[in-house]
Amino acid sequence: MTGALHRLRALPLRSRLALLVATAVALAVAAVAAGCWFATKAQLESQMDSSLRNVSVSDDYMQKLFIACTRPDRATAPPIGGYTVQLVTASGSTCTSAGASPIGVTAADIAVAAGVRDDTLHTASTKSGKKMRVHTYAYETHTPAPGLVPGTFAVSVARPMSEIDDPLSTLAWVLLAVAGIGGVGAGAAGLWVARTGLRPVDELTEAVEHVARTEDLTVRIPVDGEDEIARLSRSFNSMTESLASSRDRQAQLIADAGHELRTPLTSLRTNIELLARSDETGRAIPPDDRRALMKSVKAQMTELASLIGDLQELARPDAPTPGPLQVVALHDIADTALERARLRGPELTIRADLTPWYVRAEPAALERAVVNVLDNAVKFSPSRGTVEVVLRDGELTVRDQGPGIPADELPHVFERFWRSPSARQLPGSGLGLSIVARAVQQSGGEITLSPAADGPGTIASIRLPGAPTPPPGS
């Protein structure tokens, strides 16, 4: 059985489907044929039993049969209309109608002859081996025949079973032929069903092989209907569309990253070439200019390092939990970020109102997000401006007094490498807010930017689920 299943699994799907359909139809045809044969057999037997029970043997015929039993030379009791009649006594002796082979007597026949039971219906064989269907019933005579005394006898009325067996045999051959034709038809139907049913699968297979061979993600499979094949085709189309979109985003990320890297690299190469030329020619660069060049080189290296770090952050998988989540104090993270912001903008006034709030997040990612938001506020704030930071009920708001963001640019602020036209002359890669949005979303929160309602500036709001007290055991 296991070997047969293994061989079945080794067949192509089309062959398996055709074989299964053919087997199912063949079994159905065989079951119907067998049911028809048994139903016909039961009907014929019922009709024969009914006819045997309805046969009535006249007293005159019985008188002739009695005479034939004692005077064989004067036997005048031929079979009645195809029925064989046999007289059975309580001792088991028999006397059969003329020209008929005696039928074997059973205990039930003797019991009827002895008056123990009224009748019996069974199958028996004659001395010549012919199968007979026999109905035996009690017969009482009051007129003695020569050699017989009045009393109760048993009369057996029989018909040959060939009247049933021959039609059943013919029917069996007919049904066998029908089943054979049905099996052949089932095989043809199975092949047709397999070819028709698997045509969409063939199209899907060809599409997958085409994508694997050419990496062409623009392939789409026509979808017709709402069945499982249609759902599979629709899922394949969605998958190729997602893969194409992902590849386009990757190509765009590489192009944008190359563009952002080119500017600091070009400036860095120019400054290094000036320093190298000075050493090669022996013409010293004035100390102030040399210090400016070195300061520019350091700034460009810092910008490159920051940009590479941002790219590494964005290259991480978009998993909901990129690192182990921990219970962290958002107010402590905000306080640390405020210290760094004050160092970067010593001429700014930074006001903070932080109330305790504990969240589950990746500490490094959340700290980077808060630092990026404060860095933006410091970068866009005017000299001697004010930055207000408030943490209350799980919402961290950072307001600056910068030029603000036009309403038509707000939908783009969280896109990678997107920079406002007014901010392109300032340092930065356009990745900061993308990293902020990603970190906040991975912590189950959300971030929004909106213009200040009572003056110039922008308000950044970070909302994170949490509690004012740490959970027990944290």
Q: And the tokens for 152? A: 């109760």
Report phi then psi at 83, rounded to 5: -95, 135
Angle (CA) 451 452 458, round 5°: 60
User: In terms of domains, do 286 and 389 share one?
Assistant: no
Angle (CA) 160 163 169, round 5°: 125
The confidence score (pLDDT) of residue 320 equals 45
User: In terms of domains, do 81 and 188 share one?
Assistant: no
User: In terms of domains, do 408 and 261 share one?
Assistant: no
Which residues are registered as beta bridge partners of 157? 85, 135
Calculate the average pLDDT of the chain: 78
DSSP strand pairing (326-329 vs 349-354): unpaired
Rounded Cα gap, residues 177 and 443, in angstroms: 73
pTM value?
0.44
At 416, which amino acid appears?
A: R
User: In terms of domains, do 134 and 89 share one?
Assistant: yes
User: In terms of domains, do 46 and 20 share one?
Assistant: yes
User: In terms of domains, do 101 and 140 share one?
Assistant: yes
Rounded Cα gap, residues 452 and 454, in angstroms: 6
User: In terms of domains, do 59 and 146 share one?
Assistant: yes
Q: And the tokens for 376? A: 């933006």
Rounded Cα gap, residues 98 and 75, in angstroms: 7
Q: And the tokens for 272? A: 């290094």
| Residue 213 counted as domain residue | no
| Residue 418 counted as domain residue | yes
The confidence score (pLDDT) of residue 217 equals 78
DSSP designation for 471: P
User: In terms of domains, do 458 and 333 share one?
Assistant: yes
CATH of the domain at 355: 3.30.565.10
Residue 423, C-beta contacts closer than 8 angstroms, at least 6 positions apart = 380
CB 297 within 8 A of CB 271: yes
CB 193 within 8 A of CB 20: no
For residue 386, what are the domain limits?
326-467
Q: And the tokens for 137? A: 């019933």
Report phi then psi at 95, rounded to 5: -145, 120
User: In terms of domains, do 300 and 405 share one?
Assistant: no
Between the CA of residue 153 and those of 51, 74, 139, 187, 459, what are the distances in Å?
21, 21, 5, 61, 120
| Residue 107 counted as domain residue | yes
Q: Is 283 helix (H, G, I), strand (E, B) or coil?
A: coil
| Residue 222 counted as domain residue | no
At 333, which amino acid appears?
A: I
The confidence score (pLDDT) of residue 77 equals 57
| Residue 69 counted as domain residue | yes
Task: Look at the block and give the residue holding tokens 């182990």.
Answer: 324
Query: For 282-381, where are the alpha helices, taking DSSP H only?
Result: 287-315, 330-344, 363-380
Type and span of the H or E element at 132: strand 131-141
How many helices (DSSP H) and strands (DSSP E) are in the chain? 11, 13
| Residue 204 counted as domain residue | no
Based on its alpha-carbon atoms, the radius of gyration of the chain, rounded to whole angstroms, reads 52
User: In terms of domains, do 245 and 288 share one?
Assistant: yes
pLDDT along the chain (474 residues), means of 10: 54 70 81 90 90 81 72 58 82 79 88 88 88 88 53 83 90 88 79 74 78 79 74 82 79 66 76 82 81 78 71 58 74 89 82 92 84 84 88 91 75 62 50 76 86 83 90 70
Rounded Cα gap, residues 353 and 338, in angstroms: 11
CATH of the domain at 246: 1.10.287.130
Residues in the chain: 474
CB 380 within 8 A of CB 451: no
| DSSP secondary structure, 206-237, as one string | HHHHHHHHH--TT------SSSHHHHHHHHHH
- Widest Cα–Cα separation across the chain: 164
What is the tally of structural domains in the chain?
Answer: 4
Domain closes at, from 162, 186, 219: 162
Domain closes at, from 266, 286, 315: 315
| Residue 202 counted as domain residue | no
Rounded Cα gap, residues 103 and 130, in angstroms: 9
| Residue 114 counted as domain residue | yes
User: In terms of domains, do 135 and 46 share one?
Assistant: no
Give tens-digit pLDDT for 231-285: 877 888 888 888 888 777 677 667 666 666 776 787 788 888 888 888 888 788 8
User: In terms of domains, do 40 and 138 share one?
Assistant: no
Give tens-digit pLDDT for 102-155: 888 889 988 988 888 888 999 998 888 889 999 998 887 655 554 445 566 888
Domain closes at, from 280, 315, 350: 315
